[in-house]
């Protein structure tokens, strides 16, 4: 979990992960990317009662470098990897179906689920508020995926040249490589829409999203064995990013 100035939201995000302990032996890695608010202390307050949370701090270097710092902290025995941003929510029971699919198919490398966008989150119940405007789709979100450790190792690190849409680039690289994956119809993330979302900087997000697509096209042109992947996602045009 990368964190930058998310004191208002990070405790809810962590609470939503901690409640998944009945499904998995959790190791929650938090990278504070030079926050100037109380984000780090909020994480420490959660860690006092939840030893599964580990906090690492660095100077502000951007989300891609923060994600890579988290990958480098993965324990050697970690079997699966998932991501959650510090202002989003992991639904109750989020990992149960995914891990059941991995147990049923030892060759499975990736599950990819749905996301619900919500403009209001009930931070007590950790779900969209009753009066929230919501939309559920198979979007482009790292938090919709559970990766096998082997797939993460083969994919490598996030491209640190991306200030935004590093997640789009990463997922395109993953799917291009042709992993054994399964699309699930469960909701894996409540994506909190708010004024501070990086992805609401629409022009920059679209520009970086298109850059990631162009890089994917160049990779596939250079190596025809790489798969066409955009049909997996429901976001198919720049205009669709207005939802985010």
Q: Per residue in 45-96, pLDDT tens?
A: 999 999 999 999 999 999 999 999 999 999 999 999 999 999 999 999 999 9
pLDDT at 198: 47
Q: What pLDDT was estimated at residue 235?
A: 63
Report pLDDT digits (tens) over 218-231: 999 999 999 988 67
- Domain that residue 194 falls in: 2-243
Looking at residue 58, what is its pLDDT?
A: 98
pLDDT at 203: 67
Mean pLDDT for the chain overall: 92
Q: What CA–CA distance (Å, rounded) separates 10 from 17?
A: 11
50 contacts 10 by C-beta, under 8 angstroms: no
Which residue blocks in the chain are alpha helix, DSSP H? 10-18, 39-47, 63-72, 96-104, 149-155, 166-176, 202-222
For residue 204, the model assigns a pLDDT of 74
CATH number of the domain at 126, please: 3.90.550.10
Q: How many domains does the chain have?
A: 1
Q: What is the pLDDT of residues 136-178, one digit of tens each?
A: 999 999 999 999 999 999 999 999 999 999 999 999 999 999 9
Structure tokens belonging to residue 155: 């994919």
Q: Is the pTM of this model over 0.85?
A: yes
Closest CA to 128 of 145, 146, 109, 115: 115
- Of 5-9, 33-37, 143-147, 228-232, the poorest mean pLDDT is in 228-232
């Amino acid at each position: 979990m990368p964190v930058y100035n998310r004191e208002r939201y990070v405790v809810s995000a962590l609470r939503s992960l901690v409640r998944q302990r009945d499904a998995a032996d959790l190791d929650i890695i938090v990278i504070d990317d030079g926050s100037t608010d109380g984000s780090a202390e909020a994480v420490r307050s959660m860690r006092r009662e939840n030893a599964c949370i580990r906090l690492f701090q660095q100077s502000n270097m951007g989300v891609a470098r923060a994600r890579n710092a988290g990958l480098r902290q993965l324990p050697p025995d970690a079997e699966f990897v998932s991501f959650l941003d510090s202002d989003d929510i992991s639904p109750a029971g989020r990992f149960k179906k995914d891990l059941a699919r991995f147990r049923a198919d030892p060759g499975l490398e990736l599950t990819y689920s749905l996301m619900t966008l919500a403009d209001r989150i009930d931070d007590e119940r950790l779900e969209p508020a009753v009066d929230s405007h919501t939309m559920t789709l198979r979007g482009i979100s790292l938090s919709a995926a559970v990766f096998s450790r082997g797939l993460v190792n083969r994919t490598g690190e996030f491209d640190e040249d991306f200030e935004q849409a590093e997640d789009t680039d990463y997922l395109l690289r993953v799917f291009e490589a042709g992993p054994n994956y399964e699309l699930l119809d469960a909701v894996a993330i409540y994506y909190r829409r708010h004024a501070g979302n990086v992805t609401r900087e629409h022009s920059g997000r679209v520009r970086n999203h298109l850059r990631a697509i162009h890089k994917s096209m160049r990779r596939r042109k250079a190596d025809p064995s790489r798969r066409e992947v955009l049909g997996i996602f429901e976001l198919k045009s720049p205009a669709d990013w207005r939802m985010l």
